[in-house]
Amino acid sequence: MAPEKLVIAISSRALFDLDEEHEVYESQGLAAYSQYQIDHEDTPLAKGQAFPLASKLLALNDQLEDPLGVEIVLLSRNSADTGLRIFNSIEHYGLPITRAAFCGGEPPWRYIQAFGCHLFLSSESADVRKALDNNVAAATLVSRPLDGPARDDIRFAFDGDAVIFSDEAEQIFKAEGLKAFTESEVAQRNEPLSGGPFKNFLSALHALQRAFPESQSPIRTALVTARSAPAHERVIRTLRAWDIRLDESIFLGGLPKVEFLRAYDADVFFDDQQSHCNLAADHIATGHVPHGVANKER
């Protein structure tokens, strides 16, 4: 298969800090919000949670040749009229973003597949769930706006079960406990896990990594998982079967993740467990992946 661009859809409220504007909408209604945006059309919006990551990803294009590269697509519930401020802000910061869908109040997830997106980042959990239901990697950003690490390279951190991998093993853990989970993983150590919602995104990242010498890649990936030995072996064999390389794999055996994420100096972290996301959110751009048994409605 020929290499392709990595395409990431980002909502306007994830790319920019629109909390003040959203408060106008919530307290005064759509007409007041629209007028507020028009009145402030030439005032650049502050950077949002996804801005540092988007900026770093787009900078990779200076080092890549077609057909490889990175494209950011803006998806917004704004109308084109109120969205003009968003495009003015994109121009202000010099971001090379040219594609967008302004949906006039309708959910923007409908256009994710049409744009060929590998990942969708949003502050709206309902849109994220719809994207996941349509087999696109997606996460709800739950951190506050952060500057992000000053490095030029980009470091992704992923949880394993229900993110990179399916939640088949986590279902056993939730239903029967740690002993049954460990026994099942040891018994199936040679059987690859099924792919989770972020498998295809990780594969696309790996394709970009292959465009660089391994020691000079500006993209690093890490698995940060609560698993420990002997449940590590199935994970390693699964990635080997998929022909996907992770630069670092951290098996924590249930230890809290946040200090390890800080030591790795992650630019962004994806996890299906809301509790793990809450602990990381004050330190690292964090995306909650509302997928799998841990997120089923009770």
Q: Which residues are the active-site residues?
A: 159
Instruction: Write the CB contacts of 280 (distance below 8 Å, at least 6 apart in sequence).
Output: 143, 257, 258, 261, 269, 271, 286
If one counts every other C-beta atom within 10 angstroms of the C-beta of residue 126, the result is 12
Half-sphere exposure at residue 213, Cβ-oriented, CA atoms within 13 angstroms? 2
Q: Which of 271, 269, 267, 266 is nearest to 289 (CA)?
A: 271
Give the whole-angstrom CA distance, residue 171 versus residue 159. Answer: 15
Q: CA 157 → CA 266, 267, 275, 279, 291, distances in Å?
A: 6, 8, 16, 15, 17
Token pair 């989770």 is at which residue?
196
